[in-house]
Amino acid sequence: MKQFKYVARRKDGSLIDGWLQAENEAQAKRQLIQQQRQVVMLTEQRTKTARNLNRETLITTLRELATLRESGMPLDQCMLSLLESVSDKQMETVLKRLHNDIESGSSLSEAIGAQPDAFPFYVSSMLRLGEASGQLGEALFSVSERIEREEKLISEVKSALTYPAFLLIVCVATVFFMFLYVIPNFENMVQGSSGDAGALGRLLAMSKFLNDNLTIISALLIAMIGGIYYSAKYGNLKDRVMHTLSIIPLFRSLIDSWNIVQFSSSMQKLLQSGVELVESVEITLNSISDAQLRKRLNHVVVKVREGKGLADSLAEYHVFPPMVIRLIHTGEAGASLVPCFREIHNLYERRLSKGLKQILTILEPLVIVIMGGIVGSIMIVLISGIISVNNISL
């Protein structure tokens, strides 16, 4: 999501400025209009801050800040206290900017929103709620718990993918080695034969092309890897990958479970803190990582503002599976949405964990089969070529 700096006019004519996150300028304007504010100025901010901030350091810092706030220490003093003990240079830079913004009159949520590269995009929205309800310390604890939960999931995925990734790298390296150094040795054998080299001849042609254009191919590979890295970090590659994966049923189920876990967790905490339903949905949609889901939730916010029930609005735009809709409908009917969202969160967190294990269980043998198939096919062609040439010679 992009970061926008705005100046807007309230109903009473007074001006207010701040930061907000949106997909584009049009969505940012809609957010301000929904808050009954007239846009005076709206500019996209391209700030450069610490991009690779260590998550463990971030979690620890947020918890320390929460503890200091719970003790009653003023926010600017909290920042100074954290600066005295921080050892990470990137975090020190972030804290200095936060301290300067807070001293200039910004709230913590606005100061954090001004550094979108340093914090997950949902942090600013969740802290804005804590500031509004007078429970900033609790909001900071909630944010740190969510980051920690996400980091744990990411760590599990990385750990499980390490071996399949290693096998894939070995497979690619083996194929390149064979084309560069092994297959060229068969060229004299084929040239001395009067018969058709067949598949072996095609392998030799590919090997010759690779050797003759190795510099160009290497440059293209480096450029492609660089382009993928840049698009993943600064572009919308993540959204495109998520959209592609969502077409595959197994991944679709996993993505749906993750979206529901995010939504239910945020809604539970917001409603439990006394935030109104429509505002809870509005804040929650800004904390969702799936771009397509955020678009649908924007429509849901409009319907809820018009007085329609949350469950009916979610059902109208096919946001979640029918079972989730029924549970939310039951919660609305019994005025017990908080326990309802808690149950939904627990249920789909278990499903997410189970689905992740299933995918990783399938992935490892699949990579081994693909690796064996590629290398084995090349070996079969080489051996068949040798036998064929020998038969012709006889």
* pLDDT of amino acid 383: 79
Looking at residue 394, its pLDDT comes to 46
- Cα pseudo-dihedral 286, 292, 297, 303, rounded to 10: 140
**If residue 89 lies in a helix (H) or strand (E), which one and from where to where?**
helix 89-103
Q: Which helix (H) or strand (E) holds 344?
A: helix 337-393
Q: Do the beta carbons of residue 211 and residue 180 sit within 8 Å?
A: yes
Beta bridge partners of 21: 3
Pick from 383, 147, 219: nearest CA to 391: 383
Report the alpha-carbon distance of residue 299 to residue 320 in Å, rounded.
Answer: 14
pTM over 0.75: no
Fill in the DSSP letter of residue 23: S
Tally of CB atoms within 10 A around 337: 21
> 290-325 in b/e burial notation, b at 16+ Cβ within 10 A?
beebbebbbebbebbeeeeebbebbbeeebbeeebb
Q: What pLDDT, on the 0 to 100 scale, is given for residue 52?
A: 58
Report pLDDT for 190.
64
3-class SS of residue 19: strand
pLDDT computed for residue 235 by the predictor: 60
Question: Three-state SS for 31?
Answer: helix
Distance of CA 121 to the CA centre of its chain: 10
Beta strands in the chain (DSSP E): 2-9, 15-22, 38-45
Mean pLDDT, the chain, integer? 82
CB 118 within 8 A of CB 53: yes
User: Does residue 161 contact residue 360 with C-beta atoms inside 8 Å?
Assistant: yes
Instruction: Give the pLDDT confidence score for residue 192 in this predicted structure.
Output: 57
- Could you tell me if 94 and 50 are in contact, meaning their C-beta atoms sit under 8 angstroms apart? yes
* Positions in the chain short of pLDDT 50: 48, 394
